[in-house]
Every structure is written in structure tokens, then in C-alpha cells.
Structure 1
Amino acid sequence: MKRGLVVALSALLLAACGGGGGDAAPTSSGVTVDTRFGPVTIEEPPTRVVALGWSDAETALALGVQPVGASDWLAFGGKGVGPWAEGLYQQAPTLLGTTEIDYEAVAALQPDLILNTRSDNDEKKHETLSKIAPTIGAPKDVIPYGTSWRQQVELVAKALGKVSEGEEVVADLDAKFAANEKFDGRTAVVGAYFDGKFGAYVSGDPRADFLKALGFTLREDVEALASGSFYVDISTERLDLLTADLSVLFPIGGDATALKANPLVPEKALILEDEALVNAFSSGSALGTAYALDHAVPLFTTALG
């Protein structure tokens, strides 16, 4: 560990956490949250929250809490959140790294709570973060980045002392799913094109689980390729694996030109080009999922004829 981090951590032990920059204090304290790394006790209502996990910042915002620091997983820039969370920050957070954590930068924000509920589940990272502040990791028995939007809301809400608000967020999104069209009996696959390569998302990934929640059945032979991961590579020789009643594909880090031009891509594939929709579909947050339901489901219906 760098000497600078040791100094920063030592300073935190002497500093009084809770000075400005966070939202109003939640209404409860002394809660214990169960995670894959064991129970985490939060003695006082957190006021300086750092959100490192995928969509943790959006989840905190949905519950009325503004993180002072956050990881920008989908490279939004600005305040680090999608348009579905526009206006929820009064003051932009300090944007932090994603897969590589700058522990000194995290410590410098003097957090009294760190959210890392959807991550790579690295125990060493968790141990280091826990020396800075109580850290909420993923729930038990989920694959890396496999925390569902529901689990994330429940974990974050309990840690923030916002349980009733969390229940309301869950109920609202459940109602939105229930009000949408169901596609029972239809098969689906969701894939991506990146750097000239194809892949597909499987159960445990928010994109795949989104389709399942709408009644779609994921291709079993694609699911069988998974080995503790949310994504599987698909060779160009096996692009037939991307064929289903509904094939949803989108490019990552570029436009859809090459994807559209590839003759091996399923002819009736729905290729998503709207960057906001792709990001909402990929966010896995309650806010992003609600946006995706409004904008993606009509496209699914049209694609199915």
C-alpha cells in the first residue's frame, strides 16, 4: 500500500467525518447490512457517501442521497449519471475510477460510507476500502457484477437508513414491469459488438435479466457457455447463437456501421443505436431500467412483428 494512502487513512481516524457535500442525514442509524464479505455495521447516519459500484450512485440518488464521489462506469462525464437521473444532483460529485480504484482519492473525500454493491467482488479491494469507511459489497452468491437492481436497492437503502424509500422504488418498478407487455413463450438473446468481436450476455447480467423479467426465455445453449461470468464470447463462426425470436444487439465504443454490414448477423436482429437507450439498458439501476422499459419495449414489440 502506498505511503500516501496510509497517511490519508491515519488522517481520517483523526478527522471528524460528516462535513458538507452530502445530502441530509437519513432518519435511522445503527444498522447492520449482510454482504458476501460478512455483516457491515453502520453506527451513524452517513452524510458523506462514496458510490463506487456499477449504478450505486444512481441508486443512492433514487433514494434521495447525493454521493460526494462516484465511479462513472458508462463514461457519461459531467455528473457521471445518465439522463434518467438528470437533475438529482445539486452539486457534481468527484468522479472516480472504475475497475482500478484510486484509494487515496477515495480517502481524500472523507467518506463515512462506501457503496460497492455491484463490482468484481474482489476481497482485497473490499478490505482496503473497509479501512477507509464501512463498505457495502455485493450480496452473497452473486457473480461479479451480478447484483440485480432489486438487491442493489435493498442493500443501499438499508445502509442509508432509507428502507421505506427503497421499498417504494422497488414497488414502483415492479408495477412498471407488470404494466408492460409480456413475451412469454418467446426466446431472446442480447449481445454486443466490441473491437471487432461478438459476445452475449447471460443470466445474472442486468440486460439478460431485463428480458427474462418480460417473459422471454434465454437461449439455453448460450446460457450453457457461461462459467461464473455475465458475458460470453461468441466466435464469428457461431453467430447463429445470436439467433432467437428477439435478437438484441448493440455496439460498444463505436457506431453500428460494422455491425449492420456483417452478413452473419441475424437478419431480423434489433440493433440498438440510441446511445441513451443502450446505456439505460446496460445500467442495471432502477432508474435506468425504468427508462429502458419506456423506450425499449415498444422496439421489441415492433421487432417481433
Structure 2
Amino acid sequence: MSSRIFSRRAALKVAAVVTASSLVLTGCSRGDNEDSANTGENTDARIASVGLGDADTLLALGITPSLVAPWGTEGTVPENGVGPWSQDLIGDAKPDVVYNTSSGFTADILEQISASDPTQIIAVNQAVDTQAKKALENIAPTTVKPEGAEDWQIPWRDQVATIAKAVDKEDKGQQLIEETEESFEKFIDSHPELKGKRAAIVMPYDGKIGLYTSGDGRGQFIESLGFEIPQSLEGEGGEFYRDIAPENYSDLNDVDYLFVLDYQGAADTLKKDPTFSNLDIVRQDKVVWLNEEVGNAMSMPNPVTIPWAANKFGEALK
């Protein structure tokens, strides 16, 4: 993960651009094997999951991917490439892991994907331009985000539906969507006092605070829990986050709850910041601190991360 930004998302916007030369991968075309694409019933199928959180959705559908592209860098995530929310689902399986897909589908990354010998590639919550898709299709039939969806910002319901259709498990996908929506409803029913409360979710980095808007999965997450993000904090232009400099920290007083996601210990630094500590919302004890894993889960909302993160929110609010 980038050491500068509070999540990979901003870096991903830039890193998604790949040159044509970096996409050239010779000697690994699997164009003749399209008939072997996974239908959810083919036990010989090998599915490479290269979208952020796509592996979680496959696991929830009952499919263990043969390759996973994790959200973090080597050494910062479990060896099997999935987060704590999916460890029970993946069990003892040890899929191949390919790192740094956020930097684009370079020749090296394409070689690693090809070496895993997939019969199908799932790259839904990912940035895949025309050249990258062609390169991936040369390895195996590839499923990407629906037309019109933003890179890295596909709504979780669409992510589930797209992946479920690709693996011929549409009924199971719809079931997962309904069960996931129920997890939000259960949270709201368990915390009726929170419904309609104004809230913001932020992550400190580099001496300032990044605030997630309703255009980001984390902002959408707290809204799905029943909170409302004040329009005054939303920013302009539909961006998924906005920076708040220390001189504007007082803007955060316009909420009933402030959720702060840690990032590499930045939360500890913020707690010691006198400008932040003197805010009304801090003095009134309305700040809820959440660890980095919760932020990672929220950055890739899916049927596994959502109920896991909702439980963490419930624990933090007790």
C-alpha cells in the first residue's frame, strides 16, 4: 500500500494507466481454452481473482480462487492473500498470490497470472482498460466491471451480481446480496438511537485528514448503517474523498459521530495533535477509533467484509 495515501484508492486512480509496451505478453495466450471457463460446476476450473475483494465474493459463492491479488503489499497481508474476514472460508487453501496489481497489469504481473494456469479471470473491482483486458483475455476469458462503473468504485451489489453471473451462480449471488443487506438492517435494528445521526469517516495521513464522501465505499458503508453524512462535508465534483487541513479541522464538529480509521499508526499521531484534541467533537467523546483492518475491509465492500466490519462497528460503539 502507498505510504503517502490513507488507502490505495487515490493512488489507484493514477496507477491504473498502463502503457501498451507493458501489456505485451508473448507465449502465454489461452485463447483456445475459452470453453473451459468456470461455470461453477467444473471442478477442474481455476479462477484467478485479480480485483480488489473479488476473492471474498468468490469464496462466499463457494469457489476458492487459484490466484488472489490482495489489497496490500507482500508481507503486509496473510500469505493466502485474503483478510481476516475470509480466513474461515478459505481454510487451508493456498492460492497463488500476485501483488501490486494496483500499479497496472505489467508484463511481470501478466506472467504471474498466466503461470497460475487459470481457466477464467475475475477482474471486477479493478481498473482494466482496453489494452489490459486484451492482455488478460489472451490468458483466459476475463470478467470485468459493468460498463459505466468507475474503476475501484463498483457498487458492491453490482460486484456480486457480475461475479455470480460469470461463474453461473446467479441464484447464490442474489441470496448473498439479500443476506448482506440483512446485516445492515440488523445493525440498524440493534442501534435505533443511531439512525439519522450525522457522521463522518476519516483517515489521518501526512499531517492532515482524508475524509471519505458518499462516493466511496466507506462513506456508503456508514450511510448503510443508518448514519447521514452532512452535505457540508461532501465536497464538490463527486470525489470519493477530500483532504481536510489542520486549519479546517473544525469542519468536523458538524457531526454527531466521527469515525477515525487508523493507517500505519497515524491514529496515534492524531490523538496527540492539539488542534484535533481541542475540537468540540473530541472533547464531547464522540470520536470512535477503528483499526486498520476495519478500514481495509470497508475499502472493498462485499458479502464477506460488510458483515465483518458491521460487527466491528457494533463492538466499537459499545
TM-score range, shorter chain: 0.7 to 0.9
Q: Which residue is 2:89 aligned to? A: 88
Shift of 1:242: 3.0
Distance 1:45 1:295, change over 3 A: same
- Which of 248, 263, 268 is 2:274 aligned to? 263
Q: 1:240-299: per-residue Cα shift (whole Å, max 9, x none)?
A: 233311111122223521011112334145343434433333331211110111120343
Q: Say how many residue pairs are matched.
A: 278
Q: Structure 1 286/261 Cα, relative in aligned 2: closer, same or farther at 3 Å?
A: same
Aligned to 1:158: 165
Corresponding residue for residue 51 of structure 1? 49
Q: Residue 169 in 1 paired to residue 172 in 2?
A: no
Q: Secondary structure of the equivalent of 1:211?
A: helix
Runs of 5+ consecutive residues of structure 2 not aligned to the other structure? 1-20
CA 135–231 in structure 1, closer or farther in 2 if over 3 Å, else same: farther
Q: CA deviation at 1:228?
A: 4.9
The one of 213, 230, 239 aligned to 1:202: 213
Match of 1:35 in 2: none
State the distance in 2 between where 1:149 and 1:189 align.
Answer: 20
Following superposition, the deviation at residue 120 of structure 1 comes to 3.3
Give yes or no for the alignment of 1:107 onto 2:121.
no
Does the residue aligned with 1:233 lie in a helix, a strand or coil? Answer: strand
Q: TM-score, normalised by structure 1?
A: 0.81
- Tell me which moved more, 134-143 or 191-200: 134-143
User: If the length of structure 2 is used for normalisation, what is the TM-score?
Assistant: 0.78
Give the conservation status (yes or no) of the 8 Å contact 2:68–2:96: yes
Structure with the bigger percentage of helix: 2
| Structure-to-structure mapping, 1:222-237, within 5 angstroms | 222-225=233-236, 227-237=237-247
Q: Secondary structure at the match of 1:87?
A: helix
Q: In terms of mean alpha carbon deviation, does 88-97 or 161-170 score higher?
A: 88-97
**1:76 alignment partner AA:** V
Cα drift, residue 229 of structure 1: 3.6
Unaligned runs of 5+ in 1: 28-43
Contact 1:114–1:129 (8 Å) recurs in 2: yes
Q: Distance in 2 between matches of 1:45 and 1:242?
A: 52
Contact 1:54-1:145 within 8 A present in 2 as well: yes
Q: How far does residue 148 in structure 1 lie from its aligned partner after superposition?
A: 2.1
User: Using a 3 Å threshold, how does the CA distance of structure 1 residues 2 and 257 change in structure 2: closer, same or farther?
Assistant: closer
The residue identity in structure 2 corresponding to 1:242 is L
Q: Which amino acid aligns with 2:78?
A: G
Letter in 2 for 1:26: G
Percent identity of equivalent pairs = 27
Q: Distance in 1 between matches of 2:48 and 2:251?
A: 40
TM-fit CA distance, 1:58:
0.7
Given candidates 308, 311, 314, the residue that maps to 1:291 is: 308
Q: Which amino acid aligns with 2:259?
A: V
